[in-house]
Amino acid sequence: MLTDTLITLFTKDLIALKKEVNLYNNEDNLWLVQDEISNSAGTLCLHLVGNLNHFIGAVLGNTGYVRQRELEFSLKNVPKEELLKQVDDTMVVIENSLNGLSQDDLQEEYKGRVFETPTTTEYFLTHLTMHLAYHLGQINYHRRLLD
C-alpha cells in the first residue's frame, strides 16, 4: 500500500537528515547564515520537524501537536542532540499516523487547505516527501559550504 512506501521514504530521508546533522564538524556551524544563505541547517531541521509533526501528526494522526512555525525560524543554538531527538520522535509520529490511514483515506480531500485548490491526502503526502527532500538537499549544501 502507498502508506508503506511513504513511511519508507520519510524514514529514509529523516535518517539522512540525522546523518547530515551529525556530519557537522563544529556544532555551532549548524546555525551559520552567510550572504544569500538565510536559513541555517538547524533552522531547516526545526522547520522540517514542525512541518511534518503538524501536517502528518496533528492533522492526520490527531497527536495534539501545536505548531509554532515562527519558532522554527527564530530559535537558535538548539543543541544537536535535541535536534536529533526531535527527528527520531518525528519518525515515530509519521509511522503511527500513516499506519492508521486506509486506501480510501488517501483518496479523500486533505483536511487542511494548503494550496489554492483542494488536494487529496495522497497528493499532499507526496508533496511533503518532496518538501523534505528539497530542504535535505539545502542542508547538505549548507554543510559542505559552511562547515
pLDDT tens column, 18-33? 999 999 999 999 999 9
What pLDDT was estimated at residue 1?
85
Rounded mean pLDDT, 131-147: 96
Task: Say how many residues make up the chain.
Answer: 147
DSSP code of 57?
A: I
Model confidence pLDDT, tens digit, residues 33-90: 998 889 999 999 999 999 999 999 999 999 999 999 999 999 999 999 999 999 999 9
* Gap between the Cα atoms of 103 and 17, Å rounded: 28
120: left (phi over 0), alpha (psi -120 to 50) or beta: beta
Q: 52: which 3 cell numbers?
A: 511534518
What pTM does this model have? 0.96
What pLDDT was estimated at residue 112?
81
**Do 57 and 97 touch, CB atoms closer than 8 A?**
yes
Sequence spans of domains, the chain: 2-146
Query: Amino acid identity, residue 60?
Result: L
Tell me the CATH number for domain 2-146. Answer: 1.20.120.450
